[in-house]
């Protein structure tokens, strides 16, 4: 008799059991879906050359997530990338900027061909970002200067038609620079969302 009742229960489960099973299945599918999306996003926002990024981020005080965002935007992690205007490597440094930094600032006198070397490019690109941040005190302005040149950013900041009244820029007149700042900022937000807690834990430990 008891065996027959169990068979009946299995064939006709209580509504509460059905609801519980549906909830458990929904949670499981939701977890798998979130996991798949996160894996896809992490593949799109990768962290190649992370060993160099970590070293020079800490050395020069630039967020690791920002450096990855710049590399992704500038070269898509292609160390051999060359832009139409001649910017080279992972962080797309202009040879003239590199020559100024290596000869007059760091006194290392490296050849411009070293820009194809991932570590050298990341080191100089990160150092240049840190100098621009020290100059302007804001990452959005540092990024604008990284792409459009500090001379242009200085001109825009001196023009009330471009400034926001709070030390920043309400409008960036160069379309390429405007798009660059937005792309890097959006990528930075994604890197922070995907990896920010990881870097925060490393800082605390």
Q: Which residues are catalytic?
A: 74
> Distance (Å, rounded) from C-alpha 126 to C-alpha 56?
7
Q: Taking the CA of residue 108 as centre, how many other CA atoms within 13 Å lie in the half-sphere pointing to its CB?
A: 12
- Distance between CA atoms of residues 173 and 193, nearest Å: 30
Give the tokens for residue 33. 């879906």
195 Cβ neighbours under 8 A, 6+ residues apart: 47, 65
Residue found under tokens 């430990």: 205
**Helices (H) and strands (E) in the chain — how many of each?**
9, 0
| Residues 145/132, Cβ–Cβ less than 8 Å | yes
**Short-list 21, 33, 46, 60, CA closest to 194:** 46
Task: Report the distance separating Cα 17 and Cα 156, nearest Å.
Answer: 66
Cβ distance 47 to 26 under 8 Å?
Answer: no
Residue at token pair 């005190």: 137
């Amino acid at each position: 008799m008891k065996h027959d009742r169990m068979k009946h229960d299995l064939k006709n489960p209580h509504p509460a059991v059905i609801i519980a099973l549906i909830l458990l299945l929904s949670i499981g599918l939701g977890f798998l879906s979130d996991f798949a999306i996160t894996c896809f996003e992490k593949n799109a926002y990768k962290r190649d050359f992370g060993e160099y990024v970590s070293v020079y981020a800490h050395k020069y005080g630039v967020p690791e997530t920002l450096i990855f965002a710049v590399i992704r935007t500038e070269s898509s992690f292609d160390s051999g990338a060359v832009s139409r205007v001649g910017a080279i490597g992972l962080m797309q440094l202009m040879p003239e900027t590199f020559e100024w930094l290596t000869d007059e600032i760091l006194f290392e006198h490296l050849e411009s061909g070293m820009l194809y070397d991932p570590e050298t490019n990341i080191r100089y690109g990160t150092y240049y970002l840190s100098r621009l941040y020290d100059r302007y005190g804001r990452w959005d302005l540092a990024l604008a200067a990284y792409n459009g040149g500090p001379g242009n950013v200085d001109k825009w900041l001196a023009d009330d038609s471009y400034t926001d009244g709070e030390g920043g820029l309400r409008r960036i007149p160069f379309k390429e620079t405007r798009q660059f700042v937005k792309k890097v900022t959006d990528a930075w937000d994604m890197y922070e969302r995907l990896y920010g807690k990881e870097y925060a834990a490393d800082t605390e430990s």
